[in-house]
Amino acid sequence: MLEQTRGRDRDRRSRREHVGRVLLILVGLGLAFAVGLAFAQTLDDRPHSSGAETNVRTLTPLPQEAPVRTVTVTVTTTP
């Protein structure tokens, strides 16, 4: 009779421990899921760079001066 009582106590403890472990695992998974969502939201909220920036400048031409001297080159070919 005493052995049956001890066996029942062990079964109850092991069930409680099993339920406690399952609850702890579920809470841990829920916490990991919440942290993952927060991290994803942080990545989604950051500013996005456009990647390319366009600058527009107007260049004015330099004034043209008359050439100082001119050179004529004559090339002859012999067949």
Task: Please report the pLDDT score of residue 8 as a whole number.
Answer: 64
Domain map (residue ranges) of the chain: 1-46
- pTM reported for the whole predicted model: 0.45
Place of tokens 């002859």: 76
Task: State the DSSP string of 22-62.
Answer: HHHHHHHHHHHHHHHHHHHHHHHHSPPP-S------PPPPP
Task: Please report the pLDDT score of residue 46 as a whole number.
Answer: 79
Task: Please report the pLDDT score of residue 37 as a whole number.
Answer: 95
Q: Is the pLDDT of residue 25 over 60?
A: yes
CA distances from 6 to 41, 62, 63 (A): 52, 105, 108
Task: Please report the pLDDT score of residue 4 as a whole number.
Answer: 59
Q: Is the pLDDT of residue 29 over 90?
A: yes
